[in-house]
């Protein structure tokens, strides 16, 4: 057998870049629609992510007929999803005696590499194997990785496969349970998952807090003070829940106040910490969905512009030359920011609380210009560059002033700050600097009061979760991993459980969580899934047997299924599904208007009184429909939002839209008739 070497990467473009970095005279050949890069007897092949999928045998595909309990202990089979890639791996295996796994270095990447290795070893059992670990696809990083090859971490791959097994069992059992119980099968099935359900519960319960919130009135007193030509405002130290008490205090305030306390300090504000995945997605959600931000970050990584974007680390390792990276940006669009960093006598980087050894925090690995990237790519790249430079920048310097004034026994306080030196804030402009002004005061000084106000206010409900805040909370609760949290949110959107940002749950989301809380509450709590994540770490460390973890999960689900009241579950879910389709009351017969589909799958709003009542309203045929809690004041019909690839579109009241369309169409018809009449009125030229 000829001696050969095969390098396996996770994606095709990574294979192309790595082959060009490591070898000269690289020849590209195309087999079965897949590129293979070859230099002499060395081959570089890029996969398409996982080439093997875990699944139940085909006889378990009938959701309605297969008993749920049978899924728990069914044999899980491995199916090759990329048959052409598997064929090429088998063919190349016969030409090599060594294979290097160069997939992304994390759980999923290790499993993807091990999957490919399994196919290779079927054709060539004696092949030698090693591992290339890198965090950036740059010449320096790749050459260093291939000069220090290590062993494949089979325990790490096993932990990823264990999670796949557990997620498959949980997802299949619970999704079928809810879908069959609710009558939602086919494309409209109700998906439930180990991480998805607790995350959805957080969103639903926050919405319930908002719905059930009863505002309480309170009163605040403000006074405007004048020293020389300076006027500044202070608030009374007390917030009043009783109006009479507030009015009594308000009347006591005289035209002067004495300064009881005044302090002025200069404080330094440290720059933000380096980006790990959670912090990056939280910040990137200012501009786009976390799922899109991660997709762009991955493409920037594979193009060699940034380091690996899936990391928990918030501490730069000593091996990274931070100063050299900053110098790269002196001749770029970030010239001013880079020079600020390099002007410091000593460069220092901020540190977060989490330090891991697998990958560094996210940082730029090469310089790009605006012309090199698309608009959204530039937004993400600029965010990462600015964050990196900010972590190396000088502190922001603030002047803080605080004090206390008293007028006839009523006290007013202030606490304001002003930027003296923006420091890192000049580099990272995404945080708003809130400044206030109060002149310097002296203890015992008498200040004039020029105005006073008693303002009635109301307590406000808690805010809805934004995608960024929710990802942060998921990390805190141990829901999902750095690699999956954005995918979970995307699944909630795609299954139409939530819409908008901040996130609002649909009626079906309420029904699903309500039903699960009544029948299987443990599924909706973060403790179980957080425990499983800890166990995945122990499997990766070789401390825990994977079969034991899977068995515990199965026993847990068996207990859940044995305690569920299927009739009650079905009732609750069907009512929730029905609510999610009710738009309002029919203006002709008073029965419910619901979203329906015609025989040719065209959707519309129709009356449940059909066939006696034939009232209908048209709907757009593209995009996902979400019923909002807002109702049309004129027709009492729920306003609608449509989600498309470009974002959300406020459709509003479908009845109002229909009436406007009919009126405009009538005007157009009238214009056509008038034009036709005008033609008839014009005298015709006689022809000979």
Catalytic residues: 308
CB distance 225 to 207 below 8 Å:
no
Report d(CA 315, CA 349) in Å as an integer: 9
Sign of CA dihedral 418, 424, 425, 431: negative
Closest CA to 481 of 355, 310, 359, 361: 310
Please give the full DSSP string across 136-154, using - where no structure is assigned: S-SHHHHHHHHHS-B---H
588 φ, ψ to 5°?
Answer: -100, -40
Please give the full DSSP string across 248-293, using - where no structure is assigned: HHHHH--SEEEEEEEEEEEEEEPPPPPB-HHHHHHHHTTTS-HHHH
Alpha helices in 333-480 (DSSP H): 335-342, 375-391, 467-477
DSSP 8-state secondary structure symbol assigned to residue 628? E
CB distance 17 to 112 below 8 Å:
no
Distance of alpha carbon 683 from its chain centroid, rounded? 69
Report d(CA 523, CA 563) in Å as an integer: 13
CB distance 410 to 452 below 8 Å:
no
Query: Pairing state of beta strands 5-9 and 98-101?
Result: parallel
Report d(CA 115, CA 53) in Å as an integer: 10
Report d(CA 557, CA 265) in Å as an integer: 59
Closest CA to 60 of 73, 45, 43, 44: 73
* Crossing angle of the two packed helices 196-212 and 467-477, in degrees rounded to 10: 120
Closest CA to 179 of 504, 515, 528, 486: 515
Report d(CA 182, CA 574) in Å as an integer: 5
653 φ, ψ to 5°?
Answer: -85, 120
Report d(CA 474, CA 195) in Å as an integer: 9
């Amino acid at each position: 057998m000829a001696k050969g070497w095969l390098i396996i990467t996770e994606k095709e473009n990574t294979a192309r870049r790595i082959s060009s970095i490591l070898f000269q005279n690289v020849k590209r050949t195309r087999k079965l629609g897949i590129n293979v890069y070859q230099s002499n007897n060395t081959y570089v092949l890029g996969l398409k992510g996982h080439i093997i999928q875990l699944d139940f045998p085909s006889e378990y595909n009938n959701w309605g007929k297969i008993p749920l309990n049978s899924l728990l202990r069914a044999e899980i089979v491995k199916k090759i999803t990329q048959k052409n890639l598997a064929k090429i791996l088998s063919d190349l295996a016969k030409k090599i005696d060594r294979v290097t796994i160069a997939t992304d270095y994390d759980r999923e990447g290790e499993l993807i590499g091990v999957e490919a290795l399994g196919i290779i070893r079927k054709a060539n059992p004696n092949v030698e194997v090693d591992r290339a670990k890198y965090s950036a696809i740059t010449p320096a990083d790749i050459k260093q990785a291939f000069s220090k090859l290590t062993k494949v971490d089979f325990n790490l791959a096993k932990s990823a496969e264990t999670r796949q097994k557990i997620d498959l069992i949980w997802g299949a059992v619970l999704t079928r349970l809810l879908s069959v119980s609710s009558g939602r099968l086919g494309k409209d099935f109700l998906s439930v998952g180990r991480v998805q359900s607790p995350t959805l519960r957080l969103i639903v319960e926050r919405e319930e807090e908002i719905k059930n919130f009863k505002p309480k009135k309170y009163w605040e007193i403000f006074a405007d003070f004048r020293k020389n030509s300076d006027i500044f405002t202070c608030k009374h130290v007390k917030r009043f829940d009783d109006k009479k008490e507030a009015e009594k205090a308000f009347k006591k305030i005289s035209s002067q106040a004495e300064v009881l306390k005044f302090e002025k300090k200069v404080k330094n504000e440290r720059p933000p910490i380096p980006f790990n995945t959670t912090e990056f997605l939280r910040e990137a959600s200012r501009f786009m969905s976390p799922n899109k931000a991660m997709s762009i970050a991955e493409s920037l990584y594979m193009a060699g512009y940034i380091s690996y974007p899936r990391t928990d680390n918030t501490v730069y390792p000593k091996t990274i030359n931070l100063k050299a990276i900053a110098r790269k940006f002196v001749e770029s669009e970030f010239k001013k920011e880079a020079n600020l960093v390099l002007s410091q006598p000593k460069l220092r980087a901020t540190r977060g609380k989490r330090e891991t050894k697998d990958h560094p925090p996210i940082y730029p690995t090469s310089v790009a210009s605006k012309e090199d990237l698309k608009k959204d790519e530039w937004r993400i790249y600029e965010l990462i560059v600015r964050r990196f430079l900010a972590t190396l920048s000088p502190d922001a310097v603030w002047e803080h002033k605080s004090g206390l004034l008293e007028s006839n026994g009523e006290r007013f306080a202030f606490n304001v700050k002003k930027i003296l030196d923006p420091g890192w804030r000049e580099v990272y402009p995404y945080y708003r600097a809130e400044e206030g002004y109060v002149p310097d005061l002296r203890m015992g000084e008498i200040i004039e009061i020029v105005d006073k106000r008693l303002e009635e206010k109301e307590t406000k409900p808690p805010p809805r979760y934004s995608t960024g805040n929710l990802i942060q909370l998921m990390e805190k609760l141990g829901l999902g991993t750095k690699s999956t949290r954005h995918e979970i949110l995307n699944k909630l959107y795609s299954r139409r459980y939530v819409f908008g940002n901040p996130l609002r749950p649909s009626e079906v989301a309420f029904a699903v969580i309500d039903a699960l809380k009544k029948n299987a509450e443990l599924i909706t709590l973060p403790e179980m899934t957080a425990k499983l994540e800890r166990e995945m770490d122990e499997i990766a460390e070789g401390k825990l047997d994977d079969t034991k973890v899977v068995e515990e999960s199965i026993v847990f689900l068996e207990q859940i299924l044995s305690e569920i009241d299927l009739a009650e579950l079905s009732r609750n879910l069907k009512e929730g599904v029905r609510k999610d389709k009710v738009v309002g009351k029919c203006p002709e017969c008073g029965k419910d208007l619901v979203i329906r589909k015609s025989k040719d799958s065209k959707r519309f709003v129709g009356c449940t009184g059909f066939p006696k009542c034939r009232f209908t309203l048209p709907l757009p045929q593209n995009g996902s429909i979400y019923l909002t809690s807002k109702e049309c004041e004129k027709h009492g019909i729920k306003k609608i939002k449509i989600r498309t690839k470009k974002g959300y579109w406020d459709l509003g009241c479908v009845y109002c839209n229909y009436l406007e369309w009919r009126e405009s169409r009538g005007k157009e018809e009238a214009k056509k008739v008038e034009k036709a009449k005008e033609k008839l009125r014009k005298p015709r030229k006689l022809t000979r």
